[in-house]
Amino acid sequence: MLEQSPLGAIVVNNKISNVFPAGDGVRDAEQVCEIVADALDLPSKDYVLPSSTGVIGWRLPVDEMIASIPDAVKNLQDRTALPAAEAIMTTDLYPKVRRSDLGHPFSLVGIAKGAGMVEPNLATMLVFLMTDLDLPQERLQSMLAKATDESFNCISIDSDQSTSDTVVLVSSGAVRPDNEEVVRAFESELERVCANLAADVVRNGEGVRHVLRVNVTGAPTDTIARGIGKAVVNSPLTKCAFAGNDPNVGRVIGAVGSYVGRTCGDREECAQLMANCTVDIAGETVFDHGNFTLSTEKEARLVTQLRDAELYVSAPIVDASVPSAHFAPTLEYPPHDRCVDIDVRFDAEGEEETTRGRATILGSDLTHEYVTENADYRS
């Protein structure tokens, strides 16, 4: 769903709540927006964009939110976005801030929140992008929709979609572009900032120790390419294998083949597609035109590669007050931005690969830490 506001803000979201009639939750949000508008001396609540995440089904703590508005307004500043990035964290381990490269005549800064219940279309994720470049709202909307579709709509931590996702782009309009080259540079920077923030969301996902990047090329369509990538990163067996640094590559091929089998028109077409399929994991070819190419030496190299891509080593934390061991991330900030690359290629005789479907999907493993955090989320 696409929405526009009087602020010139652009919103791309996928709120399930939009299909339900307005109830107490909508009235609560509108009440908070009205008071924020008054505190900022804005014409109306329509100039305030509400965003929230939390336990589904429970109402907003309206009284506490209203009581905090005067202090929030008093503490507004224009020096850094870091306090805002820190303020929107929940189960996030660290704040996520990205900006455009210096040297451009414009500025672009983005902050993001999100760690679990993350799956396109968007996710339990809040993203706020701020620029000073003066462009028509319709053009900003088009740019943001494209950037979002190629970044935030191509990630998955746990395959669960959310009711509360938002991506917002706001422009102060302080800088007028001198020429179309500046506009093209802005669009490129917007796509880069969104891609980096999307990767940060996955890297900071609940319990994530491996980021998986699935590159699919040569598929019949872009839609099928995206579906194949999503099938790999959302497969519980595949996710668990990577969590254990176990190169059980048959699980990856199984996820690819299962999706192909569900979407192809007939058995012959499926068989032909898989016969033309090659899969590399961490630079090692494990499946070549329909045949596995495995060896103990290759598996040992893959184990080393997986361990090298790990963000931290899992370790149980034993609490004497709890009868069982619990796991928690031993990570305050990611030590690197490495990931496990999974390349899925389909060759088709007589067709250029560039004319066929392609997609890049970011996902993650499934760890003890993820289970612990979500089992104990409320208790």
Catalytic positions, written as ranges: 124
Strands 96-99 and 10-13, by their bridges, are unpaired
How do beta strands 2-4 and 340-346 pair? unpaired
Angstrom distance (rounded) from CA 118 to CA 81: 23
Helix or strand (DSSP H, E) at 364:
strand 357-364
CB 251 within 8 A of CB 265: no
Q: Are 165 and 127 in contact (CB under 8 A)?
A: no
Q: Which two tokens stand for residue 46?
A: 């329509």
Helix, strand, coil in percent for the chain, rounding step 5: 40, 20, 40
Distance CA 123, CA 364 (A): 14
DSSP string, 127-174: EEEEEEE---HHHHHHHHHHHHHTTGGGB-SSS---S--EEEEEEEEE
Q: What are the Cα distances from residue 131, in Å, to 67, 100, 233?
A: 30, 10, 33
